[in-house]
């Protein structure tokens, strides 16, 4: 078991008061706080090792390049990639998915081809495919979600066909916490020769991801939900795809030879990394991976699961509170409504109690519609949360009910 109280001390932003109350941060699924080790890594780059990468022959540039590529190795090992060239640095999950939609889309998708997504996707894993379908005449197919919040796997199997050119599916639902059985989904898709993109934005921080074991073709995630910096994320792609796919953006860093007659592109990963990258954030992300590895996924899983269990029981003591979905496996986040109280009012009252939760549609409007809801309140748990945090949340919810008593 990890010591959440000790871990909390590693995160400076958590040691503050809001409205005169100790901060209780239950919004890590929107963005996680950063440990000092990540902050230090970023500062270190600017204080000592800063220069552009892959450019100069001078010492600072060589040092910056060495650190940058070492970070790529660290992140590659973190997700079990076969080769660090399969790690493409992007701004985040959104850009990673857009990269695949543009590049793989141009390479492989034509009229009447089909792309499968699900009803529980984040808008980031819906709209790029809608845009691609508009441009190409391809067709978007949707796996429905059951009442409990699981994917309808029978419906999924029926959707797979020789017309299907991609399955793009979330590892974990950011709105209700469902952990999808992605390994089985990938195996099923591969039986039909369908490549698979996993939106790992909510999956990467709660369990060890091994892209080779999963055998996914693409895996996308953001640094900022993984206790790392904003502005950086990763697209993992199998070499065979990345080598076959055309560049996404053009510019510096991504070329081999440029002339007005014919430009040739750099090898992967640089082919997909046009322009000066976010050098400091790459260092920060690498530090975040090291930090998590030190805590250990076994300990993280035990702690978060125990806390999820505790939170579920505690929330159920609040009258008229309804937890949305009851999936087979759930990541440590709970979406709920309280009768007669709008989610935003709950959010405001809780804020005054020092508790930060997320309210709204969670960028998953189709899933909200599926449940007939406009908004929910969502409490998401992370390595630094404690049972005390849950107690403060539940106390705040009781208080909110008192205020809104009719």
Ligand X SMILES: *Cc1c(COP(=O)(O)O)cnc(C)c1O
Give contact residues for ligand X (rule: CB under 6 A).
Answer: 92-94, 122, 124-125, 170, 174, 199, 201-202, 222, 224
Ramachandran angles phi, psi of 172, nearest 5°: -135, 135
Cβ at position 92, least distance to ligand X in Å:
3
Cβ-based nearer residue to ligand X, 202 or 337 = 202
Cβ-based nearer residue to ligand X, 137 or 275 = 275
Instruction: Look up 363 and say whether it is catalytic.
Output: yes
Task: Collect all residues with Cβ–Cβ distance below 8 Å to 259 and sequence separation of at least 6.
Answer: none
Cβ-based nearer residue to ligand X, 25 or 49 = 25
What does the angle CA 64 – CA 67 – CA 70 come to, to the nearest 5 degrees?
150
Instruction: Give the Å distances, CA to CA, from 13 to 33, 34, 230, 265.
Output: 7, 8, 15, 43
What are the DSSP calls for 20-35, one per residue? TEE-EE-BTTT-----
Alpha-carbon span 67 to 202, nearest angstrom: 27
Q: Which residues pair with 170 in a beta bridge?
A: 199
Q: How far is CA 47 from the centre of its chain?
A: 30
Cβ-based nearer residue to ligand X, 113 or 150 = 150
* Strand residues in 135-248 grouped as ranges (E): 139-143, 164-170, 196-199, 218-222, 233-237
Active-site hit among 133, 160, 216, 363: 363
Alpha-carbon span 78 to 29, nearest angstrom: 20
Cβ at position 342, least distance to ligand X in Å:
23
Alpha-carbon span 312 to 42, nearest angstrom: 37
Cβ at position 197, least distance to ligand X in Å:
11
Cβ-based nearer residue to ligand X, 3 or 329 = 329
Between helix 297-315 and helix 387-403 the angle, nearest 10°, is 30
Cβ at position 220, least distance to ligand X in Å:
8
Q: Are strands 164-170 and 218-222 parallel, antiparallel or unpaired?
A: unpaired
Contact in structure between 379 and 329 (CB atoms under 8 Å): no
Cβ-based nearer residue to ligand X, 289 or 397 = 289
Longest dimension (CA), the chain: 75
Between helix 387-403 and helix 343-352 the angle, nearest 10°, is 120
Tokens of 132: 């691609």
Cβ at position 127, least distance to ligand X in Å:
11
| HEC profile of 323-340 | ECCCCCCECCEEEEEECC
Cβ-based nearer residue to ligand X, 199 or 273 = 199
Cβ at position 172, least distance to ligand X in Å:
7
Cβ at position 292, least distance to ligand X in Å:
17
**Catalytic (active-site) positions:** 363
């Amino acid at each position: 078991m990890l010591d959440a109280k000790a871990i909390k001390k590693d995160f400076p932003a958590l040691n503050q008061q809001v409205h005169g109350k100790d901060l209780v941060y239950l919004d890590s699924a929107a963005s996680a706080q950063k440990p000092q080790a990540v902050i230090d890594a970023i500062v270190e780059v600017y204080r000592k090792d800063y220069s552009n990468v892959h450019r100069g022959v001078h010492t600072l540039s060589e040092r910056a390049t060495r650190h940058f590529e070492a970070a790529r190795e660290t992140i590659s090992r973190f997700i079990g990639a076969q080769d660090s060239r399969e790690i493409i640095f992007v701004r985040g999950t959104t850009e990673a998915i857009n990269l695949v939609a543009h590049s793989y889309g141009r390479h492989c998708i034509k009229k009447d081809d089909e792309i499968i997504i699900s009803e529980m996707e984040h808008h980031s894993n819906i709209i790029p495919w809608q845009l691609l379908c508009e441009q190409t005449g391809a067709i978007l197919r949707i796996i429905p979600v059951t009442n409990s919040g699981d994917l309808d796997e029978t419906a999924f199997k029926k959707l797979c066909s020789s017309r299907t050119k991609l399955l793009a599916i979330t590892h974990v639902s950011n709105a209700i916490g469902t952990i999808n059985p992605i390994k089985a989904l990938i195996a099923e898709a591969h039986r039909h020769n369908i490549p698979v993109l996993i939106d790992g934005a909510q999956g990467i921080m709660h369990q060890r991801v091994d892209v080779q074991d999963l055998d996914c073709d693409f895996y996308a995630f953001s640094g900022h939900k993984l206790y790392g910096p904003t502005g950086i994320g990763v697209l993992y792609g199998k070499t065979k795809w990345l080598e076959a796919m055309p560049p996404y953006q053009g510019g510096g860093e991504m070329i081999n030879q440029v002339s007005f007659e014919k430009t040739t592109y750099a090898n992967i990963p640089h082919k997909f990394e046009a322009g000066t990258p976010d050098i400091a954030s790459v260092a920060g992300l690498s530090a975040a991976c090291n930090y998590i590895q030190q805590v250990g996924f076994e300990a993280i899983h035990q702690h978060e699961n125990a806390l999820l269990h505790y939170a579920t029981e505690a929330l159920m003591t609040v009258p008229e509170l309804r937890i949305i979905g009851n999936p087979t496996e759930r990541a440590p986040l709970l979406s709920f409504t309280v009768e007669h109280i709008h989610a935003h009012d709950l959010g405001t009252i809780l804020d005054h109690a020092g508790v930060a939760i997320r309210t709204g549609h969670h960028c998953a409007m189709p899933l909200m519609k599926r449940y007939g809801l406009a908004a929910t309140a969502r409490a998401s748990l992370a390595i630094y949360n404690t049972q005390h945090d849950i107690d403060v949340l539940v106390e705040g919810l009781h208080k909110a009910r008192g205020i809104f008593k009719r």
